[in-house]
Amino acid sequence: MSVLVALVVGLFLEREKGILAREELLLQDSLRDPLTGLHNRRSFDAELARVLASPGEHYLLYADVDHFKRVNDRYGHSFGDEALRAIARTMLLCVRRNDIVARLGGEEFGIILADISREEAQRLADRLIAAVAAFDHRAAEERITITLSVGAARRRADHSPTMLMSIADMALYEAKNSGRRRAVFCTEPMAEPTQPPDTAKGAPKAEVTV
């Protein structure tokens, strides 16, 4: 009888361990972007709130692929998906071990830099932009250069996650409008972002590096 009880208990414990493992896997899947394997928006929001609740100098980077719609239109969505995966891998190579890299949707990425100086954050953003531009994307033996624009915001004590994201978004808008393939750092909301060069009256449309 004792052997039978032990067998039943063992089977029950194995079943419970399997259920817990599956639940953990489902939880991890719910926090990851299925295309790139990066953190998704849900995970990003939780991590940003966690980091901002801790002391230290923290930065938020918003990165957006320049002219990505034109890339998709010209080379197809399969190429665009592979480009996003390559960009994700490149980002992970550029950041520090504990930095959080997330795909927020489409061609937009967020990077949370905890306990970092202004100079280190600038170097990281510049390294990120250079590494993505240097990646050898290929379509029908044609080399395609894909670039990023980055907006960066430094956390202040009175910044909520929503406010910090808004400031980083405005900095990204300014990076786009001032020529793309660059990083703009900001600590306060911008009163009036500059007019985009490709929509200004009489200005030529910006060229795509593809």
* 82 annotated active-site: no
* Type and span of the H or E element at 25: helix 2-30
Distance CA 123, CA 128 (A): 8
- In whole angstroms, what separates CA 135 from the centre of its chain? 17
The answer to whether 145 touches 131, Cβ cutoff 8 Å, is no
Please identify which of the residues 107, 108, 120, 174 carries the catalytic annotation. Answer: 107
Dihedral angle sign, alpha carbons of residues 88, 93, 94, 95: positive
- CB atoms closer than 10 angstroms to residue 62: 25
User: In a 3-state reduction of DSSP, which class is residue 146?
Assistant: coil
> Mind telling me the catalytic residues?
107
